[in-house]
Amino acid sequence: MVQRVDRTRAVHYKGGMTRPRKPSSRRGADTTGTTQDGLPGLRGRGFALLIAATAVGLCGFAAVLPLVPLWASRGGAGEFGAGSTTAAFMLTTVLTQLTMPWLLERGGYRWAFPVGCLIMGLPTPLFAVTADLAPLLVVSAVRGVGFGMVSVAGTALAARLVPNEQVGRATGYYGLAVGLPQVLILPGGVALALQIGFDTAFWITGACSVLGAVLATGIWFADGGRNRSALRSAPRAGGVGDRGPVGLPLLLLLAAPLAVMLVAATSASTVITFLAIPLEQAAWLVSGTLAALALAVVVGRWTAGMLHDRYRRALLLLPGMAGAVVGLSLVTAGLWTVGGAGDVPGPAAATLVLVGASLFGLGFGAVQNETVMLMLNRAGPAGYGRASAVWNIGFDTGSGVGAMGMGLVIQLMGYGPAFAFLAMLMALALPLALGGRGARPS
């Protein structure tokens, strides 16, 4: 007879991190969302498949993000219309994310990721049919449903597939899987489309998402089936000490990091969506800047994760926001000297844009990791799905606001003034970053 193993409970202490407590002897100590002992963890094939599926599947997101606005712009859409393609994508993404905690609690952990990859990837080649704005909006909206499923399920699975003491490193590895491929994919998609055609780029990126679905399906069968407890719906019964906050108390705990993530994501989306348009005559600069931005995000996120794990608190939340403000200000200074899409940026402008985007990426990466860890810790293991949904909603709402809202601002004011407004908005959010450093009350 196999003896039942209770899940490790977690003690919250200053800084918001957790450390393991001895397993409870009470029956029913297992709680919603808490990863059971006996999972293969970071070295398991299931976690490796999640990382691979994320890296490959989200190529279909990263490459298309700057590509569709450029395609729409070539079809005659203005900045507002071009940005609305990303906004439509993010709108359906956020609406889907609102339903994800309910779906995940009812068995969605197993199928949400692969199904989301299919919904995101299969329609992608349809972008090549026409550059008219209306069809592009429809396809973008459909793909947003898939991305909403993948984003929430992926973050939650990264925490569920490992024991509690490995969650910090797991989110760090997951961040690498999300960000590292973008070092090549963000600039690569634009460069590929400009060199050999948009239709080829759309077909390749769509195939990547479909391959991600295949890889994610294998998690259920990997490691002799030991990951299946993490992929099933979580039990509702559990010890009171492990339940964590819900409802309004949880939202209040998550409010500060959510607001910081919202502002930072708005800025990042604006840079990624619109940078290629005024710099189209310098394709090398667009590719280099997007690659530097993506690499800096990875470095910033991983560094913040390692320091968070070592010092048990969010050391880089405020410095990350401050660095992002300075970086965005440098990008603003560079774009201010570029008159429009037909102008070639000079050496000074190119240097400002490249250095500024790199510094912005470092700060944005740190903010990503610090805010997601704050939310996971404050929600507790029972609330991993809810915390993942809230964080991704903040990220993707900001992305939609940056794409559509800032598109209108750019159309009215120009690139330099619009980016200056955005840098000022981020500076005003610095006190929220300071307030978001607190730990979850124990």
Question: What pLDDT sits at residue 244?
Answer: 63
Cα 305 to Cα 160, 166, 277: the distances in Å are 18, 12, 33
- 3-state DSSP assignment of residue 21: strand
Nearest to 370 by CA among 307, 441, 298, 294: 307
The residue-averaged pLDDT of 320-344 equals 84
Query: Alpha-carbon distance 279 to 274, whole Å?
Result: 9
Grade residue 362 by pLDDT with cuts at 50, 70 and 90.
very high
Question: What pLDDT sits at residue 437?
Answer: 52
Grade residue 37 by pLDDT with cuts at 50, 70 and 90.
low
Ordered structural domains, the chain, with CATH:
38-232+255-435 (1.20.1250.20)
67 touches 190 (CB < 8 A): yes
User: From the DSSP assignment, how many helices (H) and strands (E) are in the chain?
Assistant: 19, 2
The residue-averaged pLDDT of 213-227 equals 88
Grade residue 265 by pLDDT with cuts at 50, 70 and 90.
very high
- Facing residues of 20 across strands? 10
Check whether 24 has a pLDDT greater than 90. Answer: no
Neighbours of 122 (CB within 10 A): 18
Encode pLDDT of 96-139 as tens digits: 999 998 888 777 788 999 999 999 999 999 999 998 999 999 99
* H/E stretch holding 9: strand 9-12
Q: What is the mean pLDDT of the chain?
A: 80
> Which DSSP symbol is given to 345?
P
Helix %, strand %, coil % of the chain (to 5)? 75, 0, 20
194 touches 283 (CB < 8 A): yes
* H/E stretch holding 188: helix 182-196
Check whether 334 has a pLDDT greater than 50. Answer: yes
Question: What pLDDT sits at residue 175?
Answer: 84
Q: Which of 177-181, 187-191, 240-244, 382-386 has the lowest mean pLDDT?
A: 240-244
Check whether 232 has a pLDDT greater than 90. Answer: no
Query: Alpha-carbon distance 385 to 102, whole Å?
Result: 9
Cα 109 to Cα 243, 312, 420: the distances in Å are 19, 28, 42
Q: Which of 142-151, 155-164, 422-431 has the lowest mean pLDDT?
A: 155-164
- 3-state DSSP assignment of residue 91: helix
Query: Alpha-carbon distance 201 to 262, whole Å?
Result: 30
Degrees to nearest 5, angle at CA 33 with 369 and 94: 55
- 3-state DSSP assignment of residue 278: coil
> Against a cut of 0.85, is the pTM above it?
no
